[in-house]
């Protein structure tokens, strides 16, 4: 990355942080923190009515090359839940990957806010299997009063498994959803990481593929706390101000979310930060691939790495201060794991340095 790593300004050089638990553990990028500070003076209209809120909403239209409706919220869970709530009908079912954050890690919030149910669809490496999706949708026709009816599909980009749907894979899911007139939502908690991994434009990865609603994440990639719901057809967002307010997600000082996005989007900072995070994962991937004792569990291409490492190496790394999660082993991977091995998830962020990665790789080497 050409920019100096801003999070290091208060850290004595040479001290590695081996923080690979989550990109949520990283701080806020300095440009974003400074932008917040600048916004702290003075007065502005509240509840999303400030000039800044309006300007940043228009900025999203430029980023996506079309008119969009944008609603700022405070968490990714809120962005997902309220997007999905906007398209629900009684007895509705939203299809997602079986290990998606919406179904596994949001405590039922999407079901709670929408009154609908999530139903998991399997698929290798975090991606919905299109054949299985077609079967599941067919099992919940619009007349199925007893079982419930299909109402939406959601995919995660980048996925929870660190993989990225290709454009043609998104096309395939969208075609299946559209055949039954089901809106397609994208959980973009790591949207920027997926975007730079595919090297495509925001428009190409979303509405040009048939995505109707996007949870646009900023928090993991350098914001302090900034998420946005983006509707590619603003007509479909008409109920959203009410849905958001009833979910207690209309921030009175919404301009501070707008201010974060102002700095985030300025001069493509968001893309630089994601490129850096992905690059740090590339370094991890290369080091693990070259190692004798550890290996990649499956290929990933954004800022998450899943590795099979000796349990002794995991303990040694933890003792030296490394932070990471041992991960539940997916059925397809279980036979690859020896009795003395463990599966770990390693997440890099805009604040990860080469020294962090190299120190961790040295721990693995023993
Ligand atoms: C794939 C995915 N979606 C959404 C979220 C948003 O979560 P939160 O509500 O904690 O901001 C996360 C956070 O870990 C995530 O990994």
- Tokens at residue 263, please? 């700095």
The answer, yes or no, to whether any atom of ligand 1 lies below 6 A from the CB of 300, is: no
pLDDT of residue 252: 98
The residue contributing the CA closest to ligand 1 atom 5 is: 76
pLDDT of residue 16: 65
Best of 24, 72, 77, 164 for a ligand 1 pocket test (most atoms within 8 Å of beta carbon): 77
Question: Fold match between 8-28+269-365 and 30-267?
Answer: no
Closest CA to 105 of 357, 340, 325, 252: 325
Q: Which residue has the tokens 């300025």?
A: 266
Report the CATH architecture of 30-267. 3-Layer(aba) Sandwich (3.40)
Q: 352 CA distance to ligand 1 centroid (A)?
A: 19
pLDDT of residue 13: 52
The residue contributing the CA closest to ligand 1 atom 8 is: 76
The answer, yes or no, to whether any atom of ligand 1 lies below 6 A from the CB of 75, is: yes
- Each of the 366 residues of the chain gets a pLDDT tens digit; together they read 334 454 444 444 555 689 999 999 999 999 999 999 999 999 999 999 999 999 999 999 999 999 999 999 999 999 999 999 999 999 999 999 999 999 999 999 999 999 999 999 999 999 999 999 999 999 999 998 999 999 999 999 999 999 999 999 999 999 999 999 999 999 999 999 999 999 999 999 999 999 999 999 999 999 999 999 999 999 999 999 999 999 999 999 999 999 999 999 999 999 999 999 999 999 999 999 999 889 999 999 999 999 999 999 999 999 999 999 999 988 777 778 999 999 999 999 999 999 999 999 999 887
pLDDT of residue 144: 82
The answer, yes or no, to whether any atom of ligand 1 lies below 6 A from the CB of 16, is: no
Report the nearest atom of ligand 1 relative to the CA of 219: 11
Q: 139 CA distance to ligand 1 centroid (A)?
A: 29
pLDDT of residue 8: 47
Which sequence spans correspond to the domains of the chain? 8-28+269-365, 30-267
Report the CATH architecture of 8-28+269-365. Alpha-Beta Complex (3.90)
């Amino acid at each position: 990355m050409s920019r100096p790593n801003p999070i290091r300004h208060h850290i004595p050089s040479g001290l590695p942080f081996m923080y690979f638990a989550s990109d949520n553990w990283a701080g806020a990028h300095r440009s974003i923190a400074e932008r917040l500070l600048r916004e702290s003076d003075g007065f502005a209209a509240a509840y999303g009515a400030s000039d800044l809120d309006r300007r940043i909403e228009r900025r999203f239209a430029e980023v996506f090359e079309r008119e969009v409706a944008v609603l700022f919220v405070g968490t990714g869970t809120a962005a997902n839940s309220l997007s999905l709530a906007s398209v629900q009908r009684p007895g509705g079912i939203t299809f997602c990957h079986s290990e998606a954050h919406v179904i596994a890690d949001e405590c039922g919030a999407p079901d709670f806010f929408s009154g609908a149910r999530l139903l998991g669809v399997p698929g290798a490496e975090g991606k919905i299997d299109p054949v299985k999706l077609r079967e599941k949708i067919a099992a919940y026709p619009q007349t199925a009063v007893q079982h419930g009816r299909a109402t939406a599909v959601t995919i995660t980009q980048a996925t929870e498994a660190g993989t990225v749907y290709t454009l043609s894979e998104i096309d395939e899911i969208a075609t299946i959803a559209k055949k039954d007139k089901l809106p397609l939502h994208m959980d973009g908690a790591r949207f920027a990481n997926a975007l730079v991994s595919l090297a495509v434009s925001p428009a190409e990865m979303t509405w040009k593929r048939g995505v109707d609603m996007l949870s646009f994440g900023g928090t993991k990639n350098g914001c302090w706390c900034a998420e946005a719901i983006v509707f590619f057809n603003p007509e479909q967002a008409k109920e959203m101000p009410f849905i958001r307010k009833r979910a207690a997600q209309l921030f009175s000082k919404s301009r501070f979310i707008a201010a974060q996005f102002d700095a985030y989007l300025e001069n493509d900072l968001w893309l630089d930060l994601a490129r850096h995070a992905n690059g740090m994962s590339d370094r991890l991937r290369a080091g693990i691939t070259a190692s004798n004792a550890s290996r990649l569990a499956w290929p990933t291409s954004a800022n998450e790495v899943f590795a099979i490492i000796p349990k002794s190496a995991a303990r040694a790394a933890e003792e030296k201060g490394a932070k990471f999660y041992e991960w539940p082993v997916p059925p397809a991977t279980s036979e690859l794991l020896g009795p003395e091995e463990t599966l770990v998830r390693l997440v890099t962020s805009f604040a990860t340095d080469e020294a962090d990665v190299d120190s961790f790789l040295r721990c693995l080497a023993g």
